Structure 1
Amino acid sequence: MMLGSIDMSFPRLNTFSFWVLPPALYLVIVSCFIDYGSGTGWTMYPPLSSTPYSGGISTDLMILGLHLAGISSSAASINYLVTFLNVRSKSFKAEFSPPFVWALAVT
């Protein structure tokens, strides 16, 4: 890693964030094929995703898949930030880290 650490701070959280992504992808893909898709467009605009316009389960599966992807992303970012702040080699100072590391920490 660019931080000079051996592993992430929380390896199980790292594994959790990785293994939550395939079910999220599966739910999003399956929602495209059930009841002619979710019918909400790529923005999931609320009037189009409400019951009168899309009464099937496909919109619910799409929303659940997006929530799982968000949980995975949040867990991975928390793990990265804790690793960036706490787990560095002794000779490695945060202000001398590469720009890519700072970009990940800021965003």
Structure 2
Amino acid sequence: MAGEYIVVADVNHYRSDMDCFVPLIEQFHKIYGFYPKYPVADAGYGSYNNYIYCEQKGMEKYMKFPMFKKESTDKKYRDDLFRTVNFKIDEDGISTIIKSIA
């Protein structure tokens, strides 16, 4: 795509992109003296810890979470009644699935 460029590169021993995000952004900060407003990263970098880090440093949480594509395009996966995020919760905070098992 036009207008894109690499501003930081690193070689490391991390097994997951999620673990690379903070060191890369800190390296960016060390080189340029500020944190980017919109850190662009693919879903491999999306994690709760990285979102919290962005919040703490005043950056927008602009990266997708790891299951974004599947959850947004796969209707069967998204509407699966046995996925915990889809459990219906009653007014007492108890899952209807748990009630039916008990």
Global fold match (TM > 0.5): no
TM-score by length of 2: 0.31
TM-score, structure 1 as length reference: 0.30
With a CA cutoff of 8 Å and minimum separation of 6, indicate the structure with the bigger relative contact order: 1
